[in-house]
């Protein structure tokens, strides 16, 4: 009986363990489902609340031009407005929904929601912990949510980068052919940073080839594998190329109406424009700009990168650790030897984009760390880590180097960094969220902090003048003026006012008043005092003098922004903004004057 009792108890323990495992598995998927739902909800909730940014109004309305006048106002490629993909996509959504701000942003929200599912496409290569943490981060990322609610070209570019990654892991030759060809060529129809991305990828291929030949690593290079794949599957690759090239021709020729657009997109306008952009600091900023963006909006990401970097070097030899310490010392010396004011005409500022002494830290460390990490992983024959680590650091360096410092470019190092961290945690650590209580508690605390920043960035302070991410954002007061004018024009009773938009008012006002014949941005043969509303700059004294007898004047904030005074940025200022988004200098703004005709009853 004693033996039978022991057997029964053992079977009972096995049954209990199986039930507990099944229960934990169910709980895991329920929690993951909740996270995905909340991530999608965050991208769609209150989509139309924040006023249209200047760039959003441009991007959304060119789709309206194409939708309303497909034969006469189709999009002719202009590199300043980027590729034709977005403007060809919007007419479809305007047709099935409506021509509204919510519809314009819904397109981005759909693309941003797709990225939440990206870890699932690689779940066979990830353990439960990595899958859970990667999904949680993408779902609650403050900036990924923000740019999923902002009408710009970057979300579709991220999807194309995701296609390239999926092609890398895919086992199917057909899938690999289409994912690689579409992921590589379709971005050229979206945004000209495709040239930058191709150059970065080619940089890896060349470096891997040279290192393999120099050190005799006996490693089949990525370029060699790609060439072998093309030789083994020429038909599949050809079909992929032909299909995406056809889409390219269709989009750039505006559905065969404008054949000149094809060569304009390949090189005639696009390449020259973006080669010149690096030398134009239209929206200037220091090299450290993208690091600050991520430090103030993606604090969890930056913390994980610091931990990963420490983990990487602690596991390597003394010589490798010493090399990294030497880079840190070099950065410190360069910082303290540099002048307080780096001349804008110098090589450092004009070419290397080092504008303040703090720039030496990210410049030297990103460059050196990328070289060390890529080399070490290739020598260790860990190509997945070498490639993803190189892409992350190269994107980070490149988008810090570009002349124009705009906040949406931070999504590229962030996206590649998430990919790299996912691969690194999965392959280089043994983290287990089921059994490690410290990891579980840490994940909850960090997730709550990230959700707090996400809510601040996207809802409670969305587009506010204290937000670094809300660069030159349209004010709510200006949008109220636009709504008021539109309501007066569309009212079935009363006088329909004539409106004249001058100087900076054209955007975003054109979006709000598009299609109304009373709206003008060219005066024509009319006198200014014939217009019921005239919107111009506050410095336009000539207009003010002409309208002073017939119109009342009201000054309204058109745009606002916060750009830090980098010379006054102390560590505590930096930390205070990272934790609470409290700026240490006042925001800036641009006012405009609204002249309204005085009516006599």
Residue-level length of the chain: 601
| pLDDT, tens only, 495-545 | 899 999 998 899 999 999 999 999 998 888 899 999 999 999 999 999 999
Measured CA to CA, the distance from residue 164 to residue 170 in angstroms comes to: 10
Three-state DSSP class for 555? strand
**Confidence (pLDDT) at 178:** 95
Q: Which of 41-45, 315-319, 347-351, 544-548 has the lowest mean pLDDT?
A: 347-351
DSSP state of 282: T
Measured CA to CA, the distance from residue 336 to residue 357 in angstroms comes to: 7
Contacts of 261 (CB under 8 A, 6+ apart): 76, 77, 84, 252, 253, 254
Using 50, 70 and 90 to split pLDDT, how confident is the model at 77? Answer: very high
Within 13 Å and on the Cβ side, how many CA atoms surround 64? 19
Q: Quickly count: other Cβ atoms within 10 Å of residue 364's Cβ.
A: 20
Residue 95 has pLDDT above 80, yes or no: yes
Q: Which of 14-23, 298-307, 462-471 has the lowest mean pLDDT?
A: 14-23
Using 50, 70 and 90 to split pLDDT, how confident is the model at 23? Answer: low
**Confidence (pLDDT) at 432:** 84
**Confidence (pLDDT) at 20:** 64
Peptide bond just before 508 cis, omega within 30 deg: yes
Using 50, 70 and 90 to split pLDDT, how confident is the model at 600? Answer: low
Residue 267 has pLDDT above 90, yes or no: no
Measured CA to CA, the distance from residue 469 to residue 457 in angstroms comes to: 8
Using 50, 70 and 90 to split pLDDT, how confident is the model at 220? Answer: confident
Phi, psi of 550 (to 5 degrees): -115, -15
Q: What is the mean pLDDT of residues 91-96?
A: 94
Q: Which of 68-77, 363-372, 407-416 has the lowest mean pLDDT?
A: 68-77
Residue 353 has pLDDT above 90, yes or no: no
Closest CA to 457 of 157, 40, 50: 50
β-pairing verdict for 533-537 and 499-501: parallel
| pLDDT, tens only, 138-159 | 999 999 999 999 999 999 999 9
Residue 122 has pLDDT above 90, yes or no: no
Beta strands in 458-561 (DSSP E): 473-474, 499-501, 519-520, 533-537, 551-561
Residue 340 has pLDDT above 80, yes or no: no
Q: Please indicate whether residue 153 or residue 281 has the higher confidence score (pLDDT).
A: 153
| Dihedral angle over CA of 85, 86, 87, 88, nearest 10 | 50
Give me the residues paired with residue 78 across strands. 82
Using 50, 70 and 90 to split pLDDT, how confident is the model at 436? Answer: confident
DSSP state of 47: T
Q: What is the mean pLDDT of residues 286-312?
A: 97
| pLDDT, tens only, 457-476 | 999 999 999 999 998 999 99
Q: What is the mean pLDDT of residues 225-240?
A: 94
| pLDDT, tens only, 47-63 | 999 999 999 999 999 99
Residue 345 has pLDDT above 80, yes or no: no
Measured CA to CA, the distance from residue 340 to residue 356 in angstroms comes to: 7
Residue 4 has pLDDT above 80, yes or no: no
DSSP one-letter string for 293-340: HHHHH-HHHHHHHHHHHHHHHHTS-HHHHHHHHHHHHHHHHHHHHS-S
Using 50, 70 and 90 to split pLDDT, how confident is the model at 126? Answer: confident
The structure tokens listed for 540 are 């336009």
Q: What is the mean pLDDT of residues 205-233?
A: 92
| pLDDT, tens only, 412-435 | 999 999 999 999 999 999 888 877
Q: In what order do the strands lie in the sheet with 519-520?
A: 473-474, 551-561, 588-597, 533-537, 499-501, 519-520
Q: Please indicate whether residue 210 or residue 343 has the higher confidence score (pLDDT).
A: 210
Closest CA to 533 of 584, 576, 593: 593
**Confidence (pLDDT) at 217:** 87
Q: What is the pTM of this model?
A: 0.93
Q: What is the mean pLDDT of residues 361-389?
A: 96
């Amino acid at each position: 009986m004693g033996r039978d009792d022991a057997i029964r108890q053992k079977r009972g323990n096995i049954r209990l363990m199986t039930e507990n495992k099944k229960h934990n598995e169910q709980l895991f998927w329920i929690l993951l489902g909740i996270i995905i739902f909340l991530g999608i909800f965050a991208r769609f909730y209150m989509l139309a609340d924040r006023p249209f940014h200047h760039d959003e109004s441009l991007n959304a309305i060119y789709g309206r031009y194409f939708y309303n006048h497909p034969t006469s106002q189709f999009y002719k490629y202009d590199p300043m407005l980027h590729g034709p993909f977005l403007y060809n996509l919007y007419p479809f959504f305007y047709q099935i929904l409506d021509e509204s701000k919510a519809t314009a942003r819904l397109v981005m929200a759909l693309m941003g929601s797709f990225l939440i599912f990206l870890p699932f496409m690689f779940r066979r290569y990830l353990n439960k912990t990595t899958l859970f943490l990667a999904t949680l981060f993408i779902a609650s990322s403050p900036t990924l949510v923000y740019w999923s609610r902002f009408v710009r070209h970057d979300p579709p570019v991220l999807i194309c980068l995701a296609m390239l990654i999926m092609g890398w892991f895919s086992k199917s030759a057909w899938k690999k052919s289409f994912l690689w060809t579409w992921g590589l060529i379709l971005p050229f129809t979206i945004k000209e940073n495709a040239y930058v991305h191709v150059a970065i990828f080619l940089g890896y291929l060349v470096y891997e080839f040279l290192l393999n030949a120099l050190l005799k690593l006996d490693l089949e290079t990525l370029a060699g594998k790609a060439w072998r794949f093309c030789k083994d599957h020429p038909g599949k690759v050809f079909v992929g190329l032909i299909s995406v090239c056809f889409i390219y021709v269709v989009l750039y020729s505006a559905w065969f109406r404008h054949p000149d657009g094809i060569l304009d997109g390949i090189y005639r306008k696009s390449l020259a424009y973006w080669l010149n952009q690096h030398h134009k600091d239209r929206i200037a900023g220091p090299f450290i700009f993208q690091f600050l963006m991520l430090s103030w909006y993606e604090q969890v990401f930056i913390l994980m990168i610091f931990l990963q970097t420490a983990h990487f070097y602690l596991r390597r030899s003394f010589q490798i650790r010493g090399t990294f310490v030497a880079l840190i010392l070099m950065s410190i010396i360069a910082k303290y030897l540099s002048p307080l004011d780096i001349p804008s005409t110098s090589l450092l500022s004009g070419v290397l984009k080092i504008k303040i002494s703090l720039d030496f830290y990210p410049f030297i460390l990103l460059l050196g760390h990328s070289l060390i990490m890529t080399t070490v992983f290739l020598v260790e024959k860990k190509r997945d880590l070498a490639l993803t680590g190189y892409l992350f650091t190269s994107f980070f360096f490149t988008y810090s180097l570009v002349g124009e410092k705009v906040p949406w470019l931070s999504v590229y190092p962030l996206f590649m960094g998430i990919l790299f961290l996912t691969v690194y945690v999965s392959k280089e650590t043994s983290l287990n969220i089921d059994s490690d209580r410290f990891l579980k508690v840490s994940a909850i605390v960090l997730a709550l902090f990230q959700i707090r920043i996400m809510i601040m960035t996207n809802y409670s302070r969305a587009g506010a003048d204290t937000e670094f991410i809300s660069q030159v954002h349209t004010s709510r007061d200006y949008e109220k003026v636009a709504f008021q004018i539109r309501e007066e024009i569309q009212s079935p009773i009363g006088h329909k006012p004539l409106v004249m938009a001058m100087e900076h008012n054209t955007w975003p006002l054109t979006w709000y008043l598009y299609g109304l014949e009373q709206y003008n941005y060219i005066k024509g043969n009319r006198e200014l005092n014939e217009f019921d509303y005239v919107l111009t700059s506050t410095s336009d004294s000539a207009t003010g003098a002409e309208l002073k007898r017939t119109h009342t004047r009201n000054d309204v904030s058109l745009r606002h922004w916060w750009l830090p005074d980098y010379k006054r940025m102390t560590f505590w200022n930096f930390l205070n903004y990272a934790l609470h988004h409290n700026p240490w200098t006042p925001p800036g703004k641009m006012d405009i004057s609204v002249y309204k005709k005085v009516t006599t009853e």
